Structure 1
Amino acid sequence: MPKGTNQKRKLMVLARFLQKHSDEEHPLTLGQLQEELERWNAPAERKSIYDDMEQLRQLGLDVQTRRGVGGGWFIGQRDFELAELKLLVDAVQSSRFLTQKKSSALIGKLESLASVHQARQLQRQVYVDRRIKTMNESIFYNVDRLHGAIGANRVISFHYFEMNMNKERVFRRGGAEYQVTPYGLIWDNENYYLAGWDHDREEVRHYRVDKMTDITLTPERGRDRGSWDLEGYTRRHFGMYAGRPCQLRLRCAAPLAGVFLDRFGQDIMLVPQDEEHFTVTLDLVVSPPFWGWLFGLGAQVEVLSPAWAVEEFRQRLDQVQDVYDTAKTQEG
């Protein structure tokens, strides 16, 4: 084998071996490196390995040396720190839209970015309360396909469904294809949503990606989004439900300040009314999930305006009360 070819092989073998089997706690000895090179039919003397390590450093690999008992060579700085990999593994493991199979595959790839010793620390299970992994492997690829359509500004077609009580798919619009110009993807409450211009309804709408099937990029160019703002659209849609947009004014108990700042962001204005209350005006789309969230805050919140929102919330409260009044009457 020509000398130049042998040298390239040596460097490749050493680089891979160091990346996979060494870290600060597990340096590799000269003997271990020589043994690995012999396994690849690229034997090397002691002095040449020192030279090889210097070449790897010049090529950008952070090869560190520790002298003395238990010393050797190891990879110092990596593209990802171990703490960063742990965060990524936790995010993948706890993500609901990824199947267990896809989660395992992605975690395996993340483990390859660490040494085999560090990878053992990444093999852990993250418990997230009531987390149910999806069974639909296609979501992962649908998201990628939608990103491509957004980048190419192409109209897409798809079918959209919901599940009935028999766990069967029921396609909306009688099974007709949706024609949508995709504007952006939204990650909200453990679900992916596509926001875009619905060519049939002639307005911007959003759709759960895991309920979309047969996604196809058409040759048609998409509709110009103009000044449409993805961040603003997401912020206004509580729980990504459709509803009636408004400027909703609320009167809240002072201890709820943190609750509203956490949910709606630091940009909202809390106006002190007295020592025990503040008012806040929210620019949002009023929907059933929002009313449910507000109901959970109990008597600490009062809807002040607009008048139709006050009346709608009152009617919803009355409807819930009627259910329990009827049940109580039947029991009597």
Structure 2
Amino acid sequence: MARGSNQKFKFTYLMKIMAEKTDDEHSLTMAQILDELGRYGVSAERKSIYEDFKDMGEFGIEILKEQKGRETFYHRAGREFELAEVKLLIDAVQSAKFITQKKSKILIAKVKNFVSEHQAKQLQRQIFINDRVKTMNESVYYNVDDIHTAINKNKKIKFKYYKWDIDKKLVARHGGSFFTVSPWALLWDDENYYMVAFDDWDHKIKHYRVDKMMNICICEEERAGKEEFKNFDMAKYSKATFGMYHGDKKKVCIRFANHMCGVFIDRFGKDILFMKVDEDYSELVADINVSLQFFGWIFSLGKDVTVISPKEVVDEIKEYTKEFLKKYE
């Protein structure tokens, strides 16, 4: 590439150099900047670079200079994202089960562009796509976009819904028939992504794993469920639904040893009301979608936690426990 052949891109390449090569801990001298421009086939005079730095300021990109001995150094100050914020974004991508291994790597590579190449090396030490379970449905990334589009256009969607069989193959539910629902929200819970929708066939709110949805089509028909979602509280829905398993919603009273209070604050939030029983025990009442997943959670908390009411839930736990123990007799 002949020197000076890319002059019309001088300003663009200069911004690229300052973004990639400098940060608050790394800077370049003017000679180094001119040398980096030369690698792109751009020649420049120092005076024009100073003018370009002023123009960058008009774009909100501040270039600072610092005197170190007899040399003057220049670096880009500040970023759209701080290094800690980029690390947080990468952690989120890595932990999200609904993003495939392949797409995780692509997204992380893009996120790294928010920082300088020096900072990216620090990120590389923490980046690893581990062996945690991730979805194998490559279309999930585009499913999310389709669902958002349907919500924004106030339209229903239809899709085929899948489950795993014993041969580790995805098979369509309901004999491959399309599900038609009204999407209203997307919810990230327990590392999975769910679509919360209104099913006007059953006249109830349901949720679906986005990575198990395929062949999504946006319908011409407008969404149903406006009244049901008018005062819908997504946070309460998530707290009440254990592992996103469906179940009848009931007000459940739970008695627990006071030292276990943190478990319930983590699950239900600080607004949950604790009622004192005695010096060692308290109770709470919460809306719970009662399911086997909820029973499993209660059992996992040990002998210091007991479901007190309603009676039908207590009886259901007793019956479930009897059936469970029979398997080990």
TM-score by length of 2: 0.91
Q: Do residues 20 (structure 1) and 24 (structure 2) align?
A: no
Q: Give the Cα–Cα distance (whole angstroms) in 1 for the partners of residues 64 and 253 of structure 2.
A: 61
Alignment match, 1:139: 140
Question: Structure 1 residue 110 and structure 2 residue 99: aligned?
Answer: no
Alignment deviations for residues 107-162 of structure 1 (CA, whole Å, 9 cap, x no partner): 11111111111111112355799721222211111111111111111111111121
| Cα separation, 2, equivalents of 1:115 and 1:204 | 46
1:226-259 alpha-carbon deviations (Å, 9 max, x no partner) = 2251333222212111112110011111111111
The whole-number CA distance in structure 2 between the counterparts of 1:28 and 1:7 is 21
Q: Distance in 2 between matches of 1:301 and 1:128?
A: 37
Partner Cα separation in structure 1 for residue 40 and residue 301 of structure 2: 67
User: Which amino acid is 1:246 matched to?
Assistant: K
| Equivalent residue number for residue 210 of structure 1 | 211
Equivalence for 2:256: 252
Bigger shift: residues 302-311 or 130-139: 130-139
The alpha-carbon distance between structure 1 residues 221 and 191, as it changes in their structure 2 partners (threshold 3 A), is: same
Which letter maps to 2:99? L
Tell me whether 196-205 or 259-268 shows the greater mean CA deviation.
196-205
- Residue-by-residue CA offset, 1:188-238 (whole Å, 9 max, x unaligned): 111111111113322211111111111110111111422251333222212
Counterpart Cα distance in 1 of 2:274 and 2:280? 13
Contact 1:271 1:280 in 2 (8 A): yes
After superposition, the Cα gap between the structure-2 partners of 1:280 and 1:150, relative to the gap in structure 1 and judged at 3 Å, is same
Is 1:242–2:243 an aligned residue pair? no
Partner of 2:278: 274
Distance of aligned partners of 1:292 and 1:157 in 2 relative to their CA distance in 1, 3 Å threshold: same
**CA offset digits 1:290-330 (Å, max 9, x no partner):** 100001112211221111001001111111211111xxxxx
CA contact (8 A) 2:193 2:210 kept: yes
Q: 1:59 to 1:197 in 2, by over 3 A?
A: closer
SS at match of 1:23: coil
d(CA) in 1 for partners of 2:222, 2:207: 19
| Higher mean C-alpha displacement, 195-204 vs 32-41 | 32-41
- 1:295 maps to 2:299: yes
Distance 2:221 2:122 in 1: 49
Task: Give the paired residue count.
Answer: 320
Asked if the contact 1:62/1:78 (under 8 Å) is kept, the reply is no
- Equivalent position SS for 2:91: helix
Measured in 1, the distance between the counterparts of 2:206 and 2:271 equals 25
What value does the CA root-mean-square deviation take over the aligned residues? 2.0
Distance 1:274 1:188, change over 3 A: same
TM-score scaled by length of structure 1: 0.90
Aligned to 2:29: 29
Tell which deviates more after alignment, 73-82 or 92-101: 92-101
Q: Which residue of 2 aligns with 1:261?
A: 265
- Give the secondary structure class of the aligned counterpart of 1:111: helix
* 8 Å Cα contact 2:18-2:76 kept in structure 1: yes
Instruction: In structure 1, give the amino acid aligned to 2:20.
Output: K
Per-residue deviation, 1:24? 2.4
Task: Give the Cα–Cα distance (whole angstroms) in 2 for the partners of residues 104 and 266 of structure 1.
Answer: 37
Partner of 1:330: none
* CA displacement at 1:36 relative to structure 2: 3.1
Please name the residue that 1:58 is paired with.
58
5+ long unaligned stretches in structure 1: 1-5, 326-332
Give the distance between the partners of 2:255 and 2:56, measured in 1 at CA: 65
Structure 1 stretch 42-51 or stretch 54-63: which is displaced more? 42-51
Using the alignment, how far apart are the partners of 1:128 and 1:99 within structure 2?
A: 10
SS at match of 1:255: helix
Q: Identity over aligned residues, as a percent? A: 41
Deviates more, 1:34-43 or 1:248-257: 34-43
Q: Relative to 1, partners in 2 of residues 1:224 and 1:293: Cα closer, same or farther, differing over 3 Å?
A: closer
Contact 2:277 2:283 in 1 (8 A): yes
Matched residue SS, 1:123: helix
Match of 1:321 in 2: 325
Contact 1:178 1:200 in 2 (8 A): no
The unaligned stretches of length 5 or more in structure 2 are: 1-5
Distance of 1:251 and 1:36 partners within structure 2: 68
Q: 1:255-302, CA deviations, whole angstroms, 9 ceiling, x for partnerless residues?
A: 111111111111110111111000110111111111000011122112
- Residue number in structure 2 paired with 1:43: 43
Check the 8 A contact 1:93/1:125 in 2, yes or no: no
